[in-house]
Chains A and B, each alone.
Chain A
Amino acid sequence: MRVRRIVPTIYSKNLKVKGNISIPTEDVSSKPTGPNPMPKVTDLRYWDFKLLRRYQPFYMPICDMCCLCTFGKCDLSKGKKGACGIDMKLQQARLVLLACCIGTACHAAHCRHLVDALIEKLGRDYPIDLGNSIEVEAPIIRTVVGIRVKTLGDLEKVLKYCEEQLTHLLSATHTGQEGDVLDFESKALHAGMLDDVVREVGDIAQIVGYGMPKGEIETPLVDLGINCIDRSKPVILCIGHNVIPSTYIIDYLEEKGLEEEIEVCGICCTALDATRYSKNAKIVGPLSRQLMFIRSGVADVIVVDEQCIRLDILEEARRTGAVVIATNDKMCLGLEDLSHLSEDEIISRILREGAGLILEESKVGKVAVELARIVFRSRREMKERCLPALEEIRALANRCTECGWCNRVCPNSFPVMESIVEAKEGRFEKLADLYKRCYSCGRCESECERNLPIVSMITKAGELYHTLEFKVRVGKGPIQDVEIRKVGAPIVFGEIPGVVAFAGCTNYPNGEEELALMAKELLERKYIVVAAGCASMSIGMWKDSDGKTLYEKYPGEFQAGGLINAGPCLSNCHVSGAAIKIANIFAKLPLEGNFAQVADYILNRVGAVGVAWGAMSQKAVAIATGFNRWGIPVIVGPHGIKYRRLYLSDGEDFEVYDRKLKKVIRIDPTPEHLITAAENFKECLCTIPKLCMRPNDGSRGRSMKVYHYVTLYEKYFNCMPPDLEKFIRTERDIPFMLKDKILKYLEEKGWEPRKEMPQEPTLLY
């Protein structure tokens, strides 16, 4: 085996290292060694500007106007300026920053809530112990904040820093503040980075505080899917992202020995976290299944916490006879806070009024469970009748005027009307097919001139025609240091073709299955696939011909061909965390205060890419922007361009400084973009291997990446990738199996091998 020398440049007063180095991580001082511990808004601007010059912001305004202050509305189209002097590009950059601030604030507040609650329960000195397999306990916090967190109290300090920074960032969006596009973008990148930090804070807090998996390699498989929920029992449904109320429910059930009698299930990240907390919890599915499942009437009690919950939840629940418990100060729904009452009093109030707010979460356990038992008795008969029977669907369908507006308002232009028209004749296959692709947003039925309950009709057909019983692996949390040690070298030299992180929500153009099919294709090709949030559930919602989900077929280890569910949205931090750990454990780069060095390392060497195929929320744009600042490219789906901004290079050669050659050289444009979009599943899949390429790939690694790029393109587009020549640096990059074909292609393109290959590429010069 060829031995490569790793020659990182280390930003430290005390260390000047060149050549093969081995610095045990324990020796690294816990004092910040890098230049930027706790970076302020402008401290990493130098790094951002380097990224943004290469990957220029590409704007797609969603509105011609600005309406953010009363000078307006201002028309910013056709080069016009607003009354404050802002122009269209600047306004887009400002809105992206605003979206990132909203997303980051959402995670920050969620994590603040978790940390405060756990400190109250366990004390400020409660140790952060992630077990023997994890020494680099919080790679993001170490790098950004420059400290090593040892107790829950330390996490508070980290949050304080982030909250302060976030205030500055949000203030920059005020009228008459920041006046430069790149500065706005640098601030958005700062917000994205903070988002990564707070997610790491929150996930670590809940892992240690609630005994969730600490990076175990094979976490258990749990039930996923609407039909996994036992309708013959009282059912408590938890929706949202904050696990605290669910923990009280699970504790109460265990305390009373009611686990067998009552079903606890969840939708969205709360569900993922509940299964990390207890093996008795079940997952209904991701966000896309929210309205469908509520409509199905299976739930007796619906407990909502925070984020991505349907705002008409009270109205929807009332229609099914379920009761609602709101539990979070971010979502009070106009309900009276009943916390001051005893649990029994709260139960009778909610029974009378159908809903209540309980901010004192410790009371939610008993209230939810006892309510479920009572409500279940009264609505047992009703449960089966919440959705229309097939005959009723047919009768409803016959009221349709075939106006076609449902198709037009469907965000994906699905053939809703055609499915309804078929149902008029008693054929329900099209409705059932729609079930798999529809994300139950309900826009079609709000438009319907006949008020047809289209979502309920789709749901019924789907539940009857599909099995809807799947499996997902419990969220593992951080990647263990030993896993990183094993894969560090093959990733950095490109011999593992890439790490692909599926993140984000369920705003898919064509249903969940496509995500699973992408993952399958990559797993077969020995990519490392990591998923978090709704994406991790979606990947489980498809079965192969052998009746198994991907989680049952592929190992849960961070290795070539491994499929990892990291956990909820918060757990996306373990993706950037893994990339940082590669820099630290494998290349011995010190982390503390060393953001730009670490990000530069990742950008040039770690072939990781994020895929946010259904990104919808402001949190998702913050997550993606956080990945970007670390040098991890992201692909969004076709709806993702409504975030208004991508970071695209012009696809020509890049310039880097080569520390070994001691000069600026031109290199292949890898990774080509920092955030881009794909129109459909095929395009996304073919873009992944390209964005996994890095300047530092060895020839063997690059040839493997080229192999996947070419063979995927041939499989899905029936031709060679039209820009292949850009990514073949010398003949040694050509995979042996495809040599003749590629050489012929290169000849037609007039390709010439590069004279220089980067040895130690860096943007920091």
Chain B
Amino acid sequence: MLGRNIPYQPTAGTNLHHAEVISTKIAVSMVKRSRRPLLVIGEYGGEAVRYLEDLNIEKIYTPRDMNLLSIIKMITREDYDLVMFIGITYYYLNQALTHLKHFSDTITLTLDGKYIPNAHYSFPNMEEGEHIEAIKRFRMLLDNL
């Protein structure tokens, strides 16, 4: 029903270049290869976020620690090579990500259970339970590194 790589909000795309859908396994290997990853956590991630909270990766909670756009502006100045996002309002994150998509080399990866076209890489649309399982697996594979 969900159409795994149709933007969750179907109008969220930007015409030509849309995120590549990736599996948990690939996501894990991206984190593994990353020199300086960052995880940006929003307020709407639900249960899935619980499995990421004690992950040993630099984290920013938005908006509490920083406004999302300020984070994005900061990312273009710092040397993060991989930035992951989860739990941010869908259309807001998708729109904000276009800044990084066009004006920076930082790789972006979204870990929500909804396909977000303006990231470089995104999980596909998933049902909630499936998404939680995916995040658990992501966590487990990272722990096993």
Determine if A641 and B96 form an interchain contact, defined as CB atoms under 8 angstroms apart. Answer: yes
Whole-angstrom distance from the CB of B69 to the nearest CB of chain A? 6
Determine if A648 and B73 form an interchain contact, defined as CB atoms under 8 angstroms apart. Answer: yes
Determine if B42 and A679 form an interchain contact, defined as CB atoms under 8 angstroms apart. Answer: yes
Q: Which residues of B contact A686 (CB under 8 A)?
A: 63
Q: In the complex, what distance in Å separates the CA atom of A722 from the CA atom of B98?
A: 26
| B window 1-42: CB within 8 A of A | 1-2, 8-11, 14-17, 42
Q: Looking across the interface, which residue of chain B has its beta carbon closest to that of A65?
A: B15
Determine if B102 and A88 form an interchain contact, defined as CB atoms under 8 angstroms apart. Answer: yes
Q: In the complex, what distance in Å separates the CA atom of A666 from the CA atom of B118?
A: 38
Determine if A64 and B15 form an interchain contact, defined as CB atoms under 8 angstroms apart. Answer: yes
Determine if B17 and A408 form an interchain contact, defined as CB atoms under 8 angstroms apart. Answer: no
Q: Does A485 contact B (CB under 8 A)?
A: no
Whole-angstrom distance from the CB of B64 to the nearest CB of chain A? 5
Whole-angstrom distance from the CB of B5 to the nearest CB of chain A? 14
Whole-angstrom distance from the CB of B60 to the nearest CB of chain A? 9
Q: Does A677 contact B (CB under 8 A)?
A: yes
9-residue interface stretch from A55-63, A355-363, A372-380, A571-579: A55-63
Whole-angstrom distance from the CB of A305 to the nearest CB of chain B? 30
Q: Which residues of B contact A65 (CB under 8 A)?
A: 15-16
**Which among A63, A411, A687 is the interface contact of B67 at CB below 8 angstroms?**
A687
Q: Looking across the interface, which residue of chain B has its beta carbon closest to that of A447?
A: B10
Q: Looking across the interface, which residue of chain B has its beta carbon closest to that of A403?
A: B1
Per-residue contact bits, chain A 653-692, to B (CB 8 Å; 1 contact, 0 not): 0000000000000000000000011111011001100000
Q: Which residues of A contact B95 (CB under 8 A)?
A: 60, 62, 641-642
Q: In the complex, what distance in Å separates the CA atom of A59 from the CA atom of B95?
A: 10
| B window 48-78: CB within 8 A of A | 62-70, 73, 77
Whole-angstrom distance from the CB of B3 to the nearest CB of chain A? 9
Determine if B9 and A409 form an interchain contact, defined as CB atoms under 8 angstroms apart. Answer: yes
**Which among A404, A411, A683, A719 is the interface contact of B1 at CB below 8 angstroms?**
A404
Q: Does A638 contact B (CB under 8 A)?
A: yes
Determine if B90 and A413 form an interchain contact, defined as CB atoms under 8 angstroms apart. Answer: yes
Q: Which residues of B contact A411 (CB under 8 A)?
A: 9, 91
**Which among A413, A641, A680 is the interface contact of B9 at CB below 8 angstroms?**
A413
**Which among A403, A638, A722 is the interface contact of B65 at CB below 8 angstroms?**
A722
Q: In the complex, what distance in Å separates the CA atom of A678 from the CA atom of B92?
A: 10
Q: Which residues of A contact B89 (CB under 8 A)?
A: 509, 638, 679-680
Q: Which residues of A contact B8 (CB under 8 A)?
A: 408, 413
Determine if A679 and B63 form an interchain contact, defined as CB atoms under 8 angstroms apart. Answer: yes
Whole-angstrom distance from the CB of B122 to the nearest CB of chain A? 15
Determine if B67 and A676 form an interchain contact, defined as CB atoms under 8 angstroms apart. Answer: yes
Q: In the complex, what distance in Å separates the CA atom of A58 from the CA atom of B100?
A: 11
Q: Does A299 contact B (CB under 8 A)?
A: no
Q: Does A646 contact B (CB under 8 A)?
A: yes
Q: Which residues of A contact B47 (CB under 8 A)?
A: none
Q: Does B43 contact A (CB under 8 A)?
A: yes
Determine if B98 and A61 form an interchain contact, defined as CB atoms under 8 angstroms apart. Answer: yes
**Which among B1, B2, B43, B67 is the interface contact of A678 at CB below 8 angstroms?**
B67
Q: Which residues of B contact A687 (CB under 8 A)?
A: 67
Determine if A683 and B67 form an interchain contact, defined as CB atoms under 8 angstroms apart. Answer: yes
Q: Which residues of B contact A354 (CB under 8 A)?
A: none
Q: Looking across the interface, which residue of chain A has its beta carbon closest to that of B16?
A: A64
Whole-angstrom distance from the CB of B29 to the nearest CB of chain A? 24
Whole-angstrom distance from the CB of B20 to the nearest CB of chain A? 15
Q: In the complex, what distance in Å separates the CA atom of A639 from the CA atom of B88?
A: 13
Q: In the complex, what distance in Å separates the CA atom of A61 from the CA atom of B69?
A: 14
Determine if B9 and A408 form an interchain contact, defined as CB atoms under 8 angstroms apart. Answer: yes
Q: In the complex, what distance in Å separates the CA atom of A166 from the CA atom of B28?
A: 53
Q: Does A163 contact B (CB under 8 A)?
A: no
Q: Looking across the interface, which residue of chain B has its beta carbon closest to that of A683?
A: B63
**Which among A64, A648, A717 is the interface contact of B17 at CB below 8 angstroms?**
A64
Q: Does A345 contact B (CB under 8 A)?
A: no
Whole-angstrom distance from the CB of B32 to the nearest CB of chain A? 26
Determine if B16 and A75 form an interchain contact, defined as CB atoms under 8 angstroms apart. Answer: yes
Determine if B10 and A408 form an interchain contact, defined as CB atoms under 8 angstroms apart. Answer: yes
Q: Which residues of A contact B70 (CB under 8 A)?
A: 648, 651
Whole-angstrom distance from the CB of B119 to the nearest CB of chain A? 13
Whole-angstrom distance from the CB of A647 to the nearest CB of chain B? 11
Q: Does A340 contact B (CB under 8 A)?
A: no
Determine if A63 and B14 form an interchain contact, defined as CB atoms under 8 angstroms apart. Answer: yes
Q: Does A392 contact B (CB under 8 A)?
A: no
Q: In the complex, what distance in Å separates the CA atom of A62 from the CA atom of B98?
A: 7
Q: Looking across the interface, which residue of chain B has its beta carbon closest to that of A718?
A: B64
Indicate whether A58 sits within 8 Å of B9 (C-beta atoms), given known contacts A638-B92, A679-B42, A679-B88: no
Determine if A679 and B98 form an interchain contact, defined as CB atoms under 8 angstroms apart. Answer: no
Determine if A63 and B73 form an interchain contact, defined as CB atoms under 8 angstroms apart. Answer: no
Q: Looking across the interface, which residue of chain A has its beta carbon closest to that of B42?
A: A679
Q: In the complex, what distance in Å separates the CA atom of A638 from the CA atom of B89?
A: 8
Determine if B102 and A77 form an interchain contact, defined as CB atoms under 8 angstroms apart. Answer: yes
Q: In the complex, what distance in Å separates the CA atom of A605 from the CA atom of B110?
A: 42
Identify 18 residue pairs between A and B in the complex whose beta-carbon atoms are under 8 Å apart, listed by A's number: A59-B102, A60-B96, A62-B14, A62-B95, A62-B98, A75-B16, A78-B17, A409-B11, A639-B92, A642-B95, A648-B70, A650-B77, A676-B69, A679-B62, A679-B67, A679-B68, A687-B67, A722-B64
Given A676-B67, A680-B63, A687-B67, output 20 extra A-B contacts at Cβ < 8 Å: A61-B14, A62-B95, A75-B16, A78-B17, A404-B1, A409-B9, A409-B10, A409-B11, A413-B91, A509-B89, A642-B95, A648-B70, A651-B70, A677-B67, A679-B67, A679-B68, A680-B43, A683-B63, A686-B63, A722-B65
Nearest 9 A-B pairs (CB), nearest first? Answer: A683-B63, A638-B92, A64-B16, A60-B98, A717-B64, A64-B15, A64-B14, A60-B99, A641-B95
The interface of chain A, by Cβ under 8 A from chain B, is: 58-65, 75, 77-78, 88-89, 403-404, 408-409, 411, 413, 509, 638-639, 641-642, 646, 648, 650-651, 676-680, 682-683, 686-687, 717, 719, 722-723
The interface of chain B, by Cβ under 8 A from chain A, is: 1-2, 8-11, 14-17, 42-43, 62-70, 73, 77, 88-92, 95-96, 98-99, 101-103
